[in-house]
Amino acid sequence: AQSVAQPEDQVNVAEGNPLTVKCTYSVSGNPYLFWYVQYPNRGLQFLLKYITGDNLVKGSYGFEAEFNKSQTSFHLKKPSALVSDSALYFCAVREAISGGYNKLIFGAGTRLAVHP
Amino acid sequence: GAVVSQHPSRVICKSGTSVKIECRSLDFQATTMFWYRQFPKQSLMLMATSNEGSKATYEQGVEKDKFLINHASLTLSTLTVTSAHPEDSSFYICSARRTGKDGYTFGSGTRLTVV
């Protein structure tokens, strides 16, 4: 079964500093990886995904993620954090299910707190 | 862009009653809908996957008779929590996969409180 792990429950960073939210994966075959953000009492918003191609994936709101096959990681990054980036971030991997369909398996989530 | 409308956003119901949550894909056809449950400060737990016109596939440990899922059209899926109990109180989120696309669009979630 596919899985992702987010080793940090919370990440604290000062506004203007670079941020990294970590994710490692365990898959059989080629990984299809995603990052989502969730604000309080809201659904998830898509940030970016890796299917194939360049290891550096650029996404929404200035976020990017680096796919590293040797380290089985897909860390989310942003060069300069904003207070408004404070939210819950989920890494996810796509898993094939019966009938030719797919589902997303989510990590435990990492709470990002950006301080002024 | 793809939008999924989920209603209601919040609902409070009495123990023993049933609650229906709707998810509609507003500007696209959703071949597959996913229903998740999220406990406070925890990740999303997939409850079931439904494909238009067929029975939902439930994840292990999810009671089919308690969480009824209907996906009657390519734009509407419903989750009915039957005979709700306080332990069913949670945040429920739907997600839709566009026909022929890799993307997943999430609804804004429903906070269910059973009293």
At residue B98, does pLDDT exceed 80?
no
pLDDT in tens, A44-79: 899 999 988 889 999 999 999 999 999 999 999 999
Structure letter (DSSP) for residue A4: E
* Residues β-bridged to residue B94: B35
Least confident span in A13-27, A59-73, B40-54, B69-83: B40-54
B-facing residues of A in 13-52 (CB < 8 A) are 32, 34, 36, 41-46, 49, 51
Q: From CA B112, how far away is CA B18, in angstroms rounded?
A: 11
Q: List Cα–Cα distances, A3 to A11, A32, A74, B15, in angstroms.
A: 21, 11, 12, 36
* Residues β-bridged to residue A94: A104
Q: CA nearest B93: which of A96, A97, A50, A90?
A: A90
Q: Which residue of A101, A110, A112 is the best one to mutate when testing the B interface, meaning the one whose CB has the most B CBs within 10 A?
A: A101
pLDDT in tens, A25-51: 998 888 999 999 998 878 889 999 998
* Residues β-bridged to residue B48: B35, B58
Q: List Cα–Cα distances, A39 to A31, A48, A59, A78, B20, in angstroms.
A: 26, 16, 17, 18, 24
